[in-house]
Amino acid sequence: MVVDLSKTNSLINQFVSEIRDIEIQNDRLRFRRNIERVGEIAAYEISKTLEFQKRSIQTPLGKIDIPVLKEQPVLGTILRAGLPLHNGLLNYFDQADNAFISAYRHHHEDGTFEIKLEYMASSSIENKILIIADPMLATGNSMALTLQEVFKLGKPKHTHIVSVIASEAGIEKVRNLIDNFTLWTGAIDKELNSLSYIVPGLGDAGDLAFGEKMQH
């Protein structure tokens, strides 16, 4: 299932508009915080789909039964661009276990690139709810490689993918890989340019959040 959060008028459209804005992007702190906010909104929306159970809470004046999460999800992120989005999810699922995956584009002199995965640290995901964050679901190749590696650790009960902007090509790539997933995104763009960046997109999320990286 694909949930395009921009289809309902809400503050997420305000935050995504600022994330895309070339002038506002110059403020790295605001850029990171807006991506973090998208993660927080996605966490709240995802929480509505999870299992809850009643817990008896002792207050200073009595007891009350309140629904609380039955189990915590595992939060995964693709380094480095996914860190602000992951922080937003972690702000709300603050007791969750976590997974970190280093996947990046290795560029060749002819302009082509391949996705390389060099590091992964993850808690057990067997029969757990997995929520994995990557701000830009462009070609979907990084997400596909990441999921293939993570699934070697176990089979999650359900996989939620969170992005700020997704392309139609990236969504199709994920659909062809797994069927038991939900994508939550702040917007869906149709195009990819010759460098496989989303158009109109927002540019390079990692560079805008943390500074330009040296090519290798």
What pLDDT, in 10s, does the model give residues 53-97? 999 999 999 999 999 999 999 999 988 889 999 999 999 999 999
Q: With contact defined as beta carbons under 8 Å apart, do 210 and 80 qualify?
A: yes
Domain covering 2-51+70-210 in this structure, CATH number: 3.40.50.2020
pLDDT category at 44 given cuts 50, 70, 90 is very high
Better-predicted residue by pLDDT, 213 or 11 = 11
Which of 165, 213, 214 is CA-nearest to residue 192?
A: 165
Which of 163, 204, 169 is CA-nearest to residue 190?
A: 169
Better-predicted residue by pLDDT, 110 or 196 = 196
**Token pair recorded at residue 71:** 């189990």
Query: Cα angle vertex 175, ends 158, 151, to 5°?
Result: 45
Q: With contact defined as beta carbons under 8 Å apart, do 37 and 79 qualify?
A: no
Phi, psi of 35 (to 5 degrees): -65, -40
- pLDDT score of 31 more than 60: yes
Q: With contact defined as beta carbons under 8 Å apart, do 5 and 45 qualify?
A: yes
Q: Are strands 188-189 and 165-167 parallel, antiparallel or unpaired?
A: parallel
In angstroms, the Cα distances linking 143 to 30, 73, 76, 189 are: 26, 18, 11, 17
Residue type, 126: E
- pLDDT score of 106 more than 60: no
The mean pLDDT value of the chain amounts to 90
pLDDT category at 115 given cuts 50, 70, 90 is low
Q: What is Dmax (Cα atoms) for the chain?
A: 70
Query: Cα angle vertex 206, ends 176, 167, to 5°?
Result: 30
pTM score: 0.89
